[in-house]
Amino acid sequence: MANLLLKVYERSTERHVNDSSLSSLFGLFYALAYTQLPTDIINDIESAMEFAKFPHLDYEGQGEFTIPLDPNPISFSMHPLAPPGGYLSIDYFKYIHKDSHWHDCPWGIY
């Protein structure tokens, strides 16, 4: 039964819209961070991603992210896309969470 539910979820339009929206949210956040943080920090993050062969978050595979505003969505293609992972949380407590796959990068953006 669980496999059936998972297959239905993987094919659902709702999941696609949700994943696309989250990808765009992280893209917008990274574009804002990219323009506001010191160049050294952004360069360290980009270098760590390149060294680890982490892809940028490109859910639609078009090299851009879109803010889904009705009736006219806005697409951005001139900024580097977000790192391949992000977190959304409430009451996040940093001391109970550790990302060991980012240990060579001295910076993190949450």
Q: Encode pLDDT of 86-103 as tens digits.
A: 666 656 555 666 666 566
- Within a domain: 11: yes
Q: Note whether residue 6 is domain-resident.
A: yes
Domain count along the chain: 1
pTM of the entire predicted model: 0.64
Quick check: is 110 in a domain?
no
Average predicted confidence (pLDDT) for the chain: 76
In a domain, 60, yes or no: yes
H-helix or E-strand spanning residue 76: strand 74-76
Residues 6+ apart with CB under 8 A from 76: 27, 28, 31, 64, 65, 66, 67
Which pLDDT band, with edges at 50, 70 and 90, does 20 fall under? confident
**Structural domain range at position 32:** 2-102
Tokens of 70: 């009705």
Residue 85 resides in a domain: yes
30 versus 103: the higher-pLDDT residue is 30
Residue 30 lies in a domain: yes
Residue 109 lies in a domain: no
Q: Compute the average pLDDT of residues 45-72.
A: 83
Q: Which of 32-41, 62-71, 99-108 has the lowest mean pLDDT?
A: 99-108
Cβ-based neighbour number of residue 107 at 10 Å: 14
Report yes or no on 108 lying in a domain.
no
- Per residue in 59-81, pLDDT (tens digit) is 778 888 888 788 888 888 877 78
CA distance 51 to 2: 37
Residue 46: the pLDDT is 85
The CA R_g of the chain, rounded to the nearest whole Å, is 16
